[in-house]
Chains A and B, each alone.
Chain A
């Protein structure tokens, strides 16, 4: 039990997927302009990441490994995840409209995104079991949600600040992310996995 909690906590803070591992940056900077959108995006990413990680693990361990096709991992994973997300979007749109209104619109943005694609790859690299992969994915998603919500809150405050013209927009957003990353650096060493 402790091992899984450690893994979860580690992925949320110590090895935060956005601020330490640099994944999911495009959507991080794109969506963090609005707090509401960020919450929705955070939920979407966590759900997609968990489900697609589980699916990817199954395919890897029951298809790719037994047949010695692991060199196809990259291609298979990306097509799998892209199609899965498309399918998920259609299903949610049809059967859970309230859920769709909350975060379904972000699904297509994350169909081919480095964070959703990166988590199953990291799970494979670390040779995680099914439960470990799932926990790791949930942690990664929550870490992303945490980072993007923090960033959005900061950026909304920033609208009232006097930012130099050249830094406006992407420039100051990066520097802000750097400060957040610095803060998260303080977590390193706290939890050793």
Chain B
């Protein structure tokens, strides 16, 4: 149980896909102009990574290693297409907001990387939690970026006005340059925080 928790945890902080591994950055900027879009994308990716890790792990002994890449790609493509179709039918407004970036989930390096590095070599339950952890880390990263961008760029979060009319929105936050600069600082901040935590652990003698 402890081990599963560790597997899950590392995707959120130590190996956070966006802030640490710097994989699959495109959506981090493209859909985070509003918190609700970030959340939807985050949840979609979480679903796809977890599902794909599970599938890859289940079939890891049946698939011939030489063709594993096309098989993994097909697997991810199938899962993403299913998500697209379901969103189009039941949440069409969000589907439209995500646009092509939803389809682009198929080529996220993080999904193929986890399948290759972890799921193809481990049993189903650990793979499930690995995918869940990575997906969760990704979603949390996206959500934090989205909330900050929407808050500073429009004064609202999830469409609910938080800052009063005294606040003149910094439009640049919802435009591309703002996204880049914000993430630059967030990456730096994350680095500083993890380094600080490591120092603390070292002092406590945990490492």
Residue ranges of A at the interface with B (Cβ–Cβ < 8 Å): 19-26, 29, 71-75, 78-79, 82-83, 112-114, 117-118, 121-122, 125, 164, 166-167, 170-179, 181-182, 185
Contact = CB atoms under 8 A, between A and B. Distances in A.
Given A117-B104, A174-B183, A175-B185, A26 B25 contact: yes
Contact of A171 (B24, B108, B179, B188): B188
Q: Is the interface of A mostly helix, strand, loop or mixed?
A: helix
Interface of B: 22-27, 29-30, 69-70, 73-74, 77-78, 80-81, 84-85, 99-100, 103-104, 106-109, 112, 172, 175-181, 183-185, 187-189, 191-192, 195
Contacts of A83: 70
Sorted nearest first, the 8 A-B pairs with minimum C-beta distance are A174-B184, A178-B180, A178-B181, A171-B188, A175-B184, A75-B77, A182-B177, A166-B188
Contacts of B24: 26
Given A74-B103, A114-B104, A121-B103, A22 B181 contact: no
A78 to B, nearest CB: 5
B178 A79 contact: no
A114 B26 contact: yes
A139 B108 CA distance: 23
Contact of A22 (B26, B74, B192): B26
Given A24-B26, A166-B189, A166-B192, 13 more contacts: A22-B25, A22-B27, A26-B22, A75-B106, A78-B107, A79-B70, A112-B73, A125-B99, A167-B184, A170-B187, A175-B184, A176-B184, A181-B177
Contact of B22 (A113, A170, A179): A170
A89 to B, nearest CB: 13
B175 A185 contact: yes
A79 B26 contact: no
Contacts of B81: 71-72, 74-75
Given A26-B109, A174-B183, A118 B100 contact: yes
A166 B191 contact: yes
Contact of B29 (A22, A82, A112, A179): A22
B52 to A, nearest CB: 13
Contacts of A176: 184
A23 B77 contact: no
Contacts of B27: 22
A137 B141 CA distance: 31
Contact of B181 (A24, A75, A174): A174
Contacts of A21: 30
B73 A82 contact: yes
A173 B184 contact: yes
B73 A174 contact: no
A171 B190 CA distance: 10
A91 to B, nearest CB: 18
A71 B177 CA distance: 34
Contacts of A171: 184-185, 187-188, 191
A78 B178 contact: no
A34 B183 CA distance: 22
A41 B187 CA distance: 25
A52 B195 CA distance: 43
Listed residue (A83, A114, A170) with the most chain B CB atoms within 10 angstroms of its CB: A114
A74 B172 CA distance: 32
Contacts of A22: 25-27, 29-30, 176, 179
A28 to B, nearest CB: 9
A26 B21 CA distance: 11
Contacts of B107: 78, 112-114, 117
